[in-house]
Homo-oligomer: A and B are copies of this chain.
Amino acid sequence: MAIAEKMTTFMTQSSWIRRMFEEGLELKARFGEDNVFDFSLGNPNLPPPAEFHAAMKEVVESDQRGMHGYMPNAGFEETRRAVASYLEKTQGIHISWKQVVMACGAAGGLNVVFKTLLDPGDEVIIPTPFFAEYRFYVDNMGGVARFVPTRPDFSLDLDAIEAAVSGRTRAILVNSPNNPTGKIYDTSSIGELAVLLERKSGELNRDIYLVADEPYRDIVYDGREVPSILASYRNSITATSYSKSLSIPGERIGFIAVNPEASDAGLILDGIALATRILGFVNAPGLMQRVVARLQGTKVALDDYRRKRDLLCDGLQDIGYDVVRPEGAFYLFLKSLMEDDVAFVQELQRKNILTVPGSGFAGPGYIRVAYCVDDSTIMNAMKGFREVFDELEKPR
């Protein structure tokens, strides 16, 4: 075999998701785009806000010498200052631009953070259900992911986390609002987690970092707020992107922020800059750095996502589905009507409804329905959702 064994394994493992994706394409070719209801992808449906386009034009028109050249690996000072100010303002913390490093999206940022923190064999605790890519990010650096289930309502299970901490634990990775569950970890649970990590770090004489992946921080509903990780725990690092808040996931722009009070914060920041370089990112895309510097606090029309959420949740509840309304992000983690969630996804697929089995997120018994789609997709899919419900539930 010409390619790495591990890559071959990864490709085989992901082949059934791939097969479903390809079957989806086939369905669309056969029945037409409008007759296939694709809830499988987390590709933001809303257009970027008008301010984004204005900022982009401004940046392009103000083009100046060196604007597209190399810069420090951590990014433009102007952008890092804008991010730090916004973090100070919105999260009630003290942080300087030197503690902010621009990243190629949250995916790039997390790889950089783990490259910096993890020695081979170091463990990262990940509450499940979880965004499946995390296991790659940890594995890329020779780390070991330790999965810990959340409670039935998808909140953090502190006892389970405590039991999972070992002498090799280096970090816990939390994602709130969560993909795929839409759960926000509330202030008290983050506070308790901080106390737990502080205590275990002391007992083990080993710093345990709280790493937060926060691309959905701005996508929240019903007046909810996402507690600040940086304000809650000393050894904390956040990685995030503008992919969802500005609907620009193809542009790969985000940042990492390191708590200035963290142990060896300066060393970590130097490591993050070095990791950005040697992993081949070199720096976050320059033009987009200048664009987002102007857009701190700007976000897509949240009301639209809320409307889509309610359209989906109300519709499914009316049919009889057991729905827990997501608090943030744009995913509904829906209880499967069959024990085998893959089979349930296939039932829906027969009605041209594309979703993803919860098993793919270590959340078996559920399916993920991404509602970052046109309203019409949601409304037109209800017939199929009803038919599947009737077929599976009525005979009982």
The yes or no answer to A262 lying at the interface (CB within 8 A) is yes
A64 nearest CB neighbor, chain B only: B47
A61, A104, A118 interface centre (most CB from chain B within 10 Å): A104
Other than the given A4-B122, A57-B61, A110-B280, 14 more pairs (CB < 8 A) read A2-B235, A2-B267, A3-B117, A4-B119, A5-B119, A8-B267, A10-B274, A53-B60, A69-B249, A108-B281, A108-B282, A115-B140, A140-B278, A280-B281
Of B11, B275, B281, the residue contacting A104 (CB under 8 A) is B281
30 contacts between A and B (CB under 8 A): A1-B264, A2-B117, A2-B268, A3-B264, A5-B119, A7-B271, A8-B267, A10-B274, A10-B278, A44-B69, A53-B60, A56-B63, A68-B247, A69-B250, A70-B250, A104-B285, A107-B277, A107-B280, A107-B281, A108-B280, A109-B280, A136-B278, A140-B278, A140-B279, A248-B286, A250-B286, A251-B285, A252-B281, A252-B285, A279-B279
How many identical subunits does the complex contain?
2
Chain B residues lying within 8 Å of A56, measured Cβ to Cβ, are 60, 63, 287
Contact call A207/B4, Cβ cutoff below 8 A: no
The yes or no answer to A222 lying at the interface (CB within 8 A) is no
Chain B residues lying within 8 Å of A271, measured Cβ to Cβ, are 3-4, 7-8, 11
Q: Tell whether A69 pairs with B247 under 8 Å between CB atoms, given A60-B57, A111-B280, A285-B252.
A: yes
A2, A61, A249 interface centre (most CB from chain B within 10 Å): A2
Contact call B252/A111, Cβ cutoff below 8 A: no
CA distance A286 to B105 in the complex (A): 12
Contact call A43/B70, Cβ cutoff below 8 A: yes
Per-residue B-contact encoding for A57-78, CB less than 8 Å = 1, 0 else: 1001101010111110000000
CA distance A274 to B235 in the complex (A): 32
Of B3, B115, B133, B282, the residue contacting A105 (CB under 8 A) is B282
Chain B residues lying within 8 Å of A277, measured Cβ to Cβ, are 107, 133
A249 nearest CB neighbor, chain B only: B70
Q: Which 3 A-B pairs have the closest CB atoms?
A: A250-B286, A111-B280, A136-B278
Interface residues of A (CB under 8 A from B): 1-8, 10-11, 14, 41, 43-44, 47-48, 53, 56-57, 60-61, 63, 65, 67-71, 104-105, 107-112, 115-119, 122, 133, 136-137, 140-142, 207, 209, 235, 247-252, 262-264, 267-268, 270-271, 274-275, 277-288
State the Cβ distance, A124 to closest chain B Cβ, in Å: 13
CA distance A280 to B112 in the complex (A): 9
Contact call A41/B63, Cβ cutoff below 8 A: no
A275 nearest CB neighbor, chain B only: B7
Of B11, B109, B112, the residue contacting A270 (CB under 8 A) is B11
State the Cβ distance, A329 to closest chain B Cβ, in Å: 15
Contact call A280/B68, Cβ cutoff below 8 A: no
Contact call B248/A68, Cβ cutoff below 8 A: yes
State the Cβ distance, A227 to closest chain B Cβ, in Å: 23
State the Cβ distance, A168 to closest chain B Cβ, in Å: 13
Contact call A283/B252, Cβ cutoff below 8 A: yes
CA distance A69 to B300 in the complex (A): 13
CA distance A61 to B53 in the complex (A): 9
Chain B residues lying within 8 Å of A247, measured Cβ to Cβ, are 68-69
Of B67, B251, B264, the residue contacting A287 (CB under 8 A) is B251
A3, A105, A252, A288 interface centre (most CB from chain B within 10 Å): A3
Contact call B207/A2, Cβ cutoff below 8 A: yes
Q: Tell whether A252 pairs with B282 under 8 Å between CB atoms, given A2-B263, A69-B247.
A: yes
